[in-house]
Amino acid sequence: MKSFDKQDKNRRAAIELLEKHAPELTQQIITLYKAHAWENRYILHPSRIEQLGEEEVSVFGRYLRSFNPDVGVMQGRKRASEGLIYTAFAGFGTLLRHFYNTHLETGTAKLRSNMIRLVDDYMAACLHGYMDSREEQILKDQEQLRIALSTALERQRKELFVKNYAIHTSINGIIIANLAAKITYVNPAFLKMWGYGGENDVLNTKLSDLWGPDQAKTIEGSLKRDNGWQGEVACTRQNGEFFDVAISASLILDENSNPVGVMTSLIDVTQRHRLEAQFRQAQKMEALGQLAGGIVHDFNNLLTAISGYAQLELMDLPDTSPQYNDFLQIKIATDRGMDLTQELRMFTRQGSGNMEPLDPNEVIEETINILKRTFPPEIKIKLNLDPGLRPTKANPSQIVQMLMNLCVNARDAIAILSEDTRRGAEGKPVGGVITMQTENVDLDVFAASGYLNAKPGEYVCISVQDTGNGMSSKIMDRLFEPFFTTKGEKRGTGLGLAVVYGIVQTHSGFIDLQSQPGEGSTFKIYLPVNKDMKIQTKSAVYSPNLTAGKGTVLVADDDNQVKDMVLQALEKSGYSVITAENGYEAMVKYQENRDVIDLVVLDMIMPQMSGRECLFQLRKINPSVKVLIMTGYTTDGSAEDLLEEGAARVIRKPFELQVFTEAVQSVITSTDSVAGS
């Protein structure tokens, strides 16, 4: 009974969220289906697409209320009967997942997971009904075609009619063979699929030449037993390229039900498999990102305390003291830990930083100047940059980080190949070439559908190609996972490409990877174009000293080490400090001391009452209250939300005490209106 109640609660929450944002979701669904309007042009009228958004929202709501999978099954069958293509309907499931991920508040990971499970269960029922309906239609169409072909073998006029209008113009590949399995007819779609120049290149060859003798025996046996066979087969085009084919084969029967031939219908499903693999990869990376996000939060609290206490001791010790170097080494070690959390932040999309219009060519040239001084001379770096490259909106330091990681990965791939297989006469590595290229790319609806989460539009493509050892598909499936590496313990941590993945996702881009063992690798990074050409320049000056000030500061943090360290730093800077264990205690102490408190410093994640909720309550008490939020977990998006909700400043853990005390002094002395008021 308890489990049922929880499930009921999840469904109610999902229904409430659906009803609240129904118009927004309806428009998103219409936009999605319109993006596939060209593929549906012969079946689905454009005016009908306008009606689908509201219907999808209504049916999903009915499913949540009834929790009956038959609702999803019937919806899937209906969409299949209307002719909605598979990629559009499957995209609706991705859109629903994104909808709940977007509108759920932070701190509700379990609820988010339960709602996403509801979406997945519904889409599984929909796709089940969709595929059942499609299979029934295929069998029905196949039976009609088989009967038509049986009659056509006896009547020349009907044979020509069926071939010219039903087979010859089919977008699926069609093969007709005799009972000896020799091919007697192929349509143009088949020739294009396999890469043949003309039908004479394939006529009178055997079906086994297309998909191998073992698979041919399996199909032949099924035809004898069941008069038909359906399945997927790996095949090879004329140029040597591998691709996957969905096959539907059946016997051609005459009017007396005697077999007279074999008809085979073929669909290239390579693209579908690729999208399915990308979807599975995205789900896996999302789960890993949530795990890494939790690690970042806890690790940042530890680093903040260690670094802060070390900085306090360094301020009190003379540099000639024996203990000075010990604390300096602690500070250096925590700085390295900060670098690690920054990389994890990028992977979890928590570190997008400041975005600005950017010329990728300039960043690449600056990065290459650094790499040329550090890479071995036998590794050559070539540039092929488009001088007319359009700008993009990006964080410059993260783009440099992305390029550095890709080039270091390429360097290591070349080094591994040199060590293993390509040594010169004197035993020295032969080396290789890294080629960096930029170009403008315009993706239409069809091209964008080949990449998960890609949208039609203008993109900047940055490619990094190497002549290294390449990789297998098995390695490519795990390549962007954090801490996954094939280089061994001494060569890498396994975070480099995970960081690249996070940076690209943060910039609303996507990655296309092409590689085969022994043939090198090519990473293509697609970033959306930004036409604002104003390039901003920034500079930062670092000071090791605390910024002095005066006033009373209320500090709330459930981590005693962090709280005590902040207390000492503020007192050293000249402030009076009141402390609280959580948001609720901070609210009570603010009410008691509001006349003397100049600033409230809140941790984002606290028990009983979070920093966000405490901010809301403090603003109810005093709309002009000045609040500084410190956090080790906040994404850039939620940081902007906090500023809009009334926070004066958001500072990320771990931080330099000079930066922290400068922020405190700046907020206290500021006469500007509080953000969000």
Residue 129, classed as helix, strand or coil, is helix
Question: Cα 440 vs. chain centroid, distance in angstroms?
Answer: 22
As a whole number of angstroms, the distance between CA 376 and CA 378 comes to 6
Measuring CA to CA, which residue among 213, 256, 78 is closest to residue 70?
A: 78
Give yes or no for a contact between 557 and 605, defined as CB atoms under 8 angstroms apart. no
Distances (CA, A) of 593 to 555, 577, 590, 597: 13, 12, 5, 6
Q: What angle do CA 105, 634, 541 make, to 5 degrees?
A: 155
Which residues, 6 or more positions from 110, have their beta carbon under 8 angstroms from its beta carbon?
A: none
Provide the CB-side half-sphere exposure for 618 (13 A, CA). Answer: 37
Which residues, 6 or more positions from 178, have their beta carbon under 8 angstroms from its beta carbon?
A: 184, 261, 262
Give yes or no for a contact between 629 and 615, defined as CB atoms under 8 angstroms apart. yes
Q: How confident is the model at residue 437, as a pLDDT?
A: 93
Q: How confident is the model at residue 542, as a pLDDT?
A: 35
3-state secondary structure 152-217: HHHCHHHHHHHHHHHHCCCCCEEEEECCCCEEEEECHHHHHHHCCCCHHHCCCCECHHHHCHHHHH
Provide the CB-side half-sphere exposure for 250 (13 A, CA). Answer: 18
Question: Phi and psi dihedrals of 331, rounded to 5?
Answer: -60, -45
pTM, two decimals, is 0.39
- Six-digit token string for 314: 């360094």
Give yes or no for a contact between 615 and 646, defined as CB atoms under 8 angstroms apart. yes
- Six-digit token string for 300: 């940042």
Number of H-type helices and E-type strands within the chain: 22, 17
Residues 126, 127, 130, 131: is their CA dihedral positive or negative? negative
Mean pLDDT by 10 residues, the chain (677 residues): 57 85 87 75 65 86 88 86 78 85 71 82 87 84 76 62 68 85 87 86 85 81 82 84 85 83 86 69 58 62 75 76 74 66 52 70 82 78 90 81 84 73 51 89 79 81 89 76 64 67 82 84 90 51 65 90 87 91 91 92 87 91 91 59 86 83 90 48
Measuring CA to CA, which residue among 65, 54, 75 is closest to residue 125?
A: 75
As a whole number of angstroms, the distance between CA 450 and CA 288 comes to 24
Measuring CA to CA, which residue among 463, 384, 401, 505 is closest to residue 98?
A: 505
Question: Phi and psi dihedrals of 458, rounded to 5?
Answer: -95, 135
Q: How many CB atoms lie within 10 A of CB 537?
A: 6
Using CB atoms within 10 Å of the CB of residue 539, give its burial: 0 to 12 exposed, 13 to 18 middle, 19+ buried.
exposed
Q: What angle do CA 397, 102, 509 make, to 5 degrees?
A: 35
As a whole number of angstroms, the distance between CA 484 and CA 465 comes to 21
Q: What angle do CA 231, 39, 267 make, to 5 degrees?
A: 20
Q: Could you tell me the domains of the chain?
A: 2-137 (1.10.490), 168-268 (3.30.450.20), 273-343 (no CATH), 356-528 (3.30.565.10), 552-669 (3.40.50.2300)
Would you give the DSSP letter of residue 423?
Answer: B
Q: How confident is the model at residue 351, as a pLDDT?
A: 47
Q: What is the dihedral of CA 270, 273, 279, 280, to 10 degrees?
A: -140
As a whole number of angstroms, the distance between CA 171 and CA 168 comes to 9
Give yes or no for a contact between 115 and 14, defined as CB atoms under 8 angstroms apart. yes
Q: How confident is the model at residue 101, as a pLDDT?
A: 83
